[in-house]
């Protein structure tokens, strides 16, 4: 949750509206409804069931990441994780800080320590994204602009990984190099970059056992694999003759799309990402819209159902959360 969430929501909503105008051209919504009406409900149910497993698997992964800091059982963690993710549907990005706040509040441990564990999640997700992009580029024939973006993302992730690893092993030299690389930016931007990089390094310090790293990596593979399986079942449900590799493409586009500023519930940026990905494989815009409606609907429904189930059992204060965030954002990162 940033310093001005209202401004971000307004920008995100304007972007969503712009995207809808761009992608709505040529759509026959009667045809979209016909496609939805002819869905194979068995595969639709299988996709819904698969997406419903993800909150449990995600909580188990977070439990492993949290284990060096605090031991939590599944019954304690799943509600906190689910409410945090539901909050992302209401206010984009708020769940990224609400989840660690809820754990910090319940277990009486430092908020900053738990916040660092969410960085570990992002590090492993970046690794999986890189693996997915490599698989996509090696198995599918794509337009040159898509391949160029893919290779650029791989290069960026590798450079970021090397820099973070160097900062982790040689912090003093690493931060000197980082400050030299960003020296032309404004001081405000330099502080922000330093804070982000520093949070990644702090996150890495949590996981020191190779066994834990392997378990987290396998959980990450399983999580993303569930999403691919759900998407592939939605293809089958809507009679789209597409391969699991295309499901990887759709998932990658969606994950990149929802990282942009958006309206609440990732409305329309999610749909635009689905449509853009599917049109690469000669899927009509009507079919792409039908898929986007179903996928986004299931994705959002799962988040809300799990969140609403647990929210009444959780005690938290948004005022206290805001104060903790303001304190953290006011601190300059130390390079020790």
Per-residue pLDDT in tens (0 to 9) along the chain, 336 residues = 445 566 666 777 777 777 777 777 778 889 999 999 999 999 999 999 999 999 999 999 999 999 888 899 888 899 999 998 888 887 777 888 889 888 988 888 888 888 888 888 988 998 899 999 999 999 898 999 999 999 998 998 888 888 877 877 887 887 888 888 888 888 888 888 887 777 777 777 787 788 888 999 999 999 999 999 999 999 999 999 999 999 999 999 999 888 877 777 787 889 989 999 999 999 999 999 999 999 999 999 999 999 999 888 787 666 666 666 565 555 555 554
Neighbours of 75 (CB within 10 A): 8
In a domain, 288, yes or no: yes
CA–CA separation, 301 vs 57, rounded Å?
A: 17
| 296 within some domain | yes
CA distance readout (Å), 329 to 29, 61, 192, 322: 46, 27, 9, 10
**pLDDT, position 87:** 86
The Cα 79–Cα 175 span in angstroms is 38
Q: Name the token pair of 109.
A: 């441990």
Per the listing, tokens 């979209």 go with: 32
Report the C-alpha gap between 293 and 271 in whole angstroms.
7
Query: Does 195 map to a domain?
Result: yes
Q: Does residue 131 belong to any structural domain of this protein?
A: yes
Query: What pLDDT shows up at residue 39?
Result: 95
Predicted TM-score (pTM) of the model is: 0.85
The verdict on residue 276 lying in a domain is yes
Residue 79 domain flag: yes
Model pLDDT, residue 128: 92
Q: Which domain holds residue 231?
A: 27-330
* Cα–Cα dist 95/83, whole Å: 8
Centre a 10 Å sphere on the Cβ of residue 90 and count the other Cβ atoms it contains: 13
Number of separate domains in the chain: 1
Domain contains 16: no
Q: Which long-range contacts (CB under 8 A, 24 or more apart) does 23-32 make?
A: 23/271, 23/272, 23/275, 23/276, 23/285, 23/289, 25/285, 26/285, 27/285, 27/286, 27/289, 28/286, 29/289, 31/286, 32/286, 32/289, 32/290, 32/293
Residue 22 lies in a domain: no
Provide the 3-class DSSP secondary structure of residue 91. Answer: coil
């Amino acid at each position: 949750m940033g310093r001005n969430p209202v401004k971000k929501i307004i920008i995100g909503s304007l972007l969503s509206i712009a995207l809808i105008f761009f992608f709505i051209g040529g759509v026959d919504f009667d045809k979209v409804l016909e496609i939805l009406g002819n869905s194979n409900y068995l595969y639709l149910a299988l996709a819904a069931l698969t997406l419903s497993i993800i909150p449990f698997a995600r909580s188990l992964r977070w439990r492993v990441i949290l284990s060096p800091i605090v031991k939590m059982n599944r019954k304690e963690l799943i509600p906190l994780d689910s409410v945090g993710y539901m909050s992302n549907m209401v206010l984009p990005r708020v769940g990224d800080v609400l989840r660690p706040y809820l754990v910090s509040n319940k277990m009486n441990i430092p908020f900053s320590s738990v916040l660092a564990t969410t960085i570990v999640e992002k590090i492993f997700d970046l690794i999986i994204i890189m693996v997915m992009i490599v698989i996509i580029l090696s198995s599918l024939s794509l337009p040159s602009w898509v391949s160029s973006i893919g290779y650029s993302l791989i290069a960026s992730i590798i450079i970021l990984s090397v820099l973070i690893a160097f900062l982790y092993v040689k912090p003093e030299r690493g931060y000197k190099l980082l400050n030299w690389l960003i020296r032309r930016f404004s001081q405000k931007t330099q502080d922000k970059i330093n804070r982000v990089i520093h949070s990644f390094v702090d996150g890495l310090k949590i996981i020191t056992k190779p066994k834990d790293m392997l378990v987290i990596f396998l959980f990450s593979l399983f999580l993303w694999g569930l999403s691919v399986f759900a998407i592939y079942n939605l293809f089958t449900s809507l009679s789209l003759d597409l391969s699991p590799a295309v499901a990887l493409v759709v998932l990658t586009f969606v994950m990149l799309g929802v990282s942009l500023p958006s309206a609440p519930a990732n409305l329309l940026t999610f749909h635009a990402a689905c449509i853009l990905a599917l049109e690469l494989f000669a899927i009509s815009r009507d079919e792409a819209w039908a898929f986007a409606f179903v996928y986004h609907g299931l994705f959002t429904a799962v988040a809300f159902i799990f969140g609403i189930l647990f929210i009444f059992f959780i005690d938290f204060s948004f005022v206290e959360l805001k104060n903790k965030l303001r304190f953290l954002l006011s601190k300059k990162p130390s390079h020790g």
